[in-house]
Structures are given as structure tokens and as C-alpha cells.
Amino acid sequence: MTTTISRKALSSFSTFSSAFGQDQTSFSAFIQQPFDSVEDLTAQAKRKHPVYSSASRKIVTDTIARQLEHQLSVSQLSNLDLLREETTMTITTGHQLTLFGGPLFLLYKVLHVVKLARSFNESQTEFKAVPVFWLASEDHDFEEIQSAQLFNKNLRWESEQKGPVGRFHMENYDLVLDELKAFFTTKEACELLELVKDLPDTNYAIHYQQLMNRLFADFGVLVLQPDDHALKQLFIPVLQREITEKPSFKAVQVTNEQLQKAGWSPQAQARACNLFLLDATGRHRIDPSANGFTIDGKAYSKEELLQLTEQQPELFSPNVILRPVYQETILPNLAYIGGGGEMAYWIQLKGVFEAHDVLFPLIQQRNSLLLVDGATAKRIEKTGWELSRFFEPKEQLRKAYLLEHDADQLNMEAIQAQFQSLRLSMITKAKEIDASLESFAEAETVRMSKQLEVYEQRLLKQVKQQHEQALKAIDGVCDRFLPGNVLQERALHWLNFAPSGDYSSLLTAIEAVIDPFQSDLIVVELKN
């Protein structure tokens, strides 16, 4: 059973997320075109197909085949063969490398792309589309992704390594992997244990690529690792233009001014040069200087960097401004699917794409889902409330429940009024006897006021005990829906909804309810 709740009714979604998801028309100046039907993909295919070369297609398909040699499922092999055809395009999502797949929304992103590609293929016969998952393996924010909260335990990969997470060696990773396996060792033929069995340990990008490849094997998803020499060769013209002309900074500045005039705050800031240089010690900013460039204090001439782009393009890494340009340069892509935060910076980039002569894709906000497992459904039933009620802060809900069920017992207004009358009488009486007693009387009434607070709290505690089961149910639902006042899809690791370790039914249930053109929160009652 599924229902929807409007994003606008939920404070957990930003104003931008609600507006962009509901109607892209007001953002027309910042995007290729509003994307509100599957037919828009056909229009984009007619734009992209003539400007995407056969040579690029061969490099991309050969790279996927090389990266995932002997690891592709039947449906993935079929999609790779399709992608070799000139009329096959891609629909893409991407994400940084996480621990064992990360939050629930990662599943939503990927399965959204799967569903959208299928809808496109069923809607017309001129083109085909295959789903692609782009690994942001050059991201260097390890602290953001090094831990996972599973079954009330924090799993954490401890490492002192720096630089792109995809290039991390696997030191200490076996320790956190063993912790994960320990949750499922009592299960026979557990899918999760098979998922993580014998994964390569060359580096984290290769390990994670094969993990995601296995996880989405049945859906035909092609998982691409872009930190690759062959792929970076396709990016050389953009690298060289960024070094020689530096057009991205100005393009973003112009767009940011337009966004601010339209009432939106820019998500990302461009730099004078939006590239990093990768080496064994990390990912280093390339900063323009009076005589060329500096990288960690070391001087480089423009000619030296240009020569390096020709010889070793894999040493260059785009930042958040140019990463989408890299993606759209190498893929025959029609649309990028991402979260609200991603959409907020994508709308800053159309001018950057134009400056680098790369076609801007359609963009779409991914579905947002709320999963309701059996235990949570029972807790909701225990409170007697509708599900939509549980998007308020926990303490506010607890108070509301008590007031609904014991308002008379908790109503202290009459007692407070009597106390205020008594307080005034005490102070007046003291002043009548001797004016110097006024401060004494006020101090006594303050002490009495504090005692009254203790009295009120004791009564409240007793009422709470009488409703302990219902209040525990409220706590349980809130911790499942808005843990730490963060949306479930962002706060909870997906494996929390596959406690047996068998995840296929979870993926199937999610894929069944994904609706690429649904902008509201989709509430899914799981059968378990």
C-alpha cells in the first residue's frame, strides 16, 4: 500500500526542493528545458545524439567492460551491448562512495534511473536508454562517509589516509566488514554475505564499484568508475580550456547573480580554476597565479599543466563545478537524477556547460520515499493517529498526545491563577505590616513558585507513566521517520530495512513504487 504526502506540507524539505520538484517552469532560464514528461527525453535525445561521437561511445563501453570484466549479469551485459549501438543513450545518477551503500536514498536514486529508462524505452522506438550509476570516486570527504549506523550500532572504518576516497587502500576495512558480517552470521544463505563475499581489495573504488554492480545486477545498472585514464582523455579539451581561458568562474558568477534576483541562494561557489591535481599525497587545488599556477605552493607554468593534461589526464580531477561537465562529456546522457541539494547546484551550471561547449542535460529530482515496516505500522496504530501526524518534533508529539488524552488532569491554569492571587495577597499583606517585608515576601513567593513547578512535573511524570506504552510508540515512530530530526531516507542506512540480510524483496518493493514524475513524498508500507 502506498500513499503520498505533499513536500510543501513537510518542513523537512527545503523550499527549493518543493518548488523544483513541483514545477520546473520557473527555473527555465537555468536548465535545458522543464522536464515533466517522458516525451522530453526524446527531445533531448535528438539534441544529444548528433553531438556524441562514435569514438567516445567505444571508449566508454570498452571501459565499462574492462572495469567489470566477468562481473556483469545477463541484464547488465544486455545493456552494455545496447550501449554500443549508436541510438542508445544513458540516464544517469551518481553518488560518493559510502560504507556498504549508505543511506536509503541511494537506492531511490538508482532505482529511479532504472524506472525512468524503462519508461523511455516503452514510450518510443527511435532511441533506447540504459541506467548508469556514476561513482564520485574522486571525492575526498572521507569523514562524511566513513561510518554507518546499523541496528543501533555505529560501524566505522578507521583510516588516516588522505585524498580521493576511491584511491584509498583497504587497510582496516576488513575490521568494519567483519562487524557487518557479524549481524548476519546466524542466517543461512544470506544474500548480504554473498554480496560482500570475495570483493576485490585493490582500492576502495574497485571494491565499491563491484559491490554496487552486484547490488543492482538484476536491474541492468551499469556502474561507471570515472577515475580512469581512458575516460579522462575524453575530458582533455575541457581541462585545457579551464586552464587557458578559465571560463567557469565567470559563468557561475553571472548565474549566481540571476539566481539571487530570482530569490534563490547559490549552493556552490566557483573558483578561478575548478580543477584539482591528484598525486600520492592527495587532491590538491590548482590556483592561478601571476606567472601561471601554484599547487600547494609549487609553481607551474600554463605550458607545464597543458603538457600534463596531454600526457597524464588522469592526474586532473574536476571539482563540484566541473564534475557534471566531465560526466556529460563522456556519456551519451539524456538526464541526470539527483537530490534537492544536487539540483540546487546543477541549476548554477548551464553557463559553464555553454562555455565548454557541452550539452546541458535534462535534470530531475529523485523520488523521496518513507518506508513503514510492520513494527512501525503497529506503533502508529497504538497511538490512534494518522501517519502524516508524525512529522512534528518528538517532544511536541508527546505533549500533544498527553493533552489529547488527559487535558483536564494536566490543566494547571486554575491552580496557577490561584497561586498568582495568593502571591499578590502575600506581598500586599507584608507591605501593610512593614514595607521592608516586601522583598522577603517576594523571595518566599519565588520559592513557592519553584515548588509549584516541582509539583507540576511530578503530576506530569505520573500521567506519562499511565500512557507509557503510547509514548514509547510515538518515540519509536519518530525515531524511524525522523531520526535526529532528519528525514529517514538521509539518516538510516538501507540495511536497517533488510535485517535478515536478504535484500532482494526490499529492492523490488522500492522499484515497484518509484514514479519518476511524482514530486511528493511516497509512503510505502512494507510487507514484513
Q: Which three cell numbers stand for residue 253?
A: 558568477
Say what the pLDDT of residue 408 is. 57
Q: How far apart are CA 124 and CA 117, in angstroms?
A: 11
The tally of CA atoms less than 13 A away on the side-chain side of residue 309 is 21
Tell me which residue has cell 541562494.
265
Q: How far apart are CA 511 and CA 508, in angstroms?
A: 5
Q: Residue 439 burial (CB < 10 Å; 0-12/13-18/19+)?
A: exposed
Say what the pLDDT of residue 468 is. 82
Q: How far apart are CA 407 and CA 409, in angstroms?
A: 6
**Domain limits of the chain?**
2-235+318-366+506-525, 392-485
Q: How far apart are CA 510 and CA 373, in angstroms?
A: 13
Say what the pLDDT of residue 398 is. 87
Under 8 Å between Cβ of 152 and 112: no
Q: What is the DSSP letter of 493?
A: B
Which residues sit opposite 372 in a β-bridge? 525
Under 8 Å between Cβ of 286 and 309: no
- Residue numbers of the chain with a pLDDT score lower than 50: none
Say what the pLDDT of residue 87 is. 98
Cα dist. 279→62, 167, 224, 400 in Å? 26, 10, 22, 57
pTM of the prediction? 0.90
The DSSP string of 22-48 is: H--GGGGGGSSS---STHHHHHHHHHH
Say what the pLDDT of residue 84 is. 99
Q: β-pairing, 128-136 with 521-525?
A: unpaired
Q: How far apart are CA 121 and CA 274, in angstroms?
A: 36
In 3-state terms the chain splits into helix, strand, coil percentages (rounded to 5) of 55, 15, 30
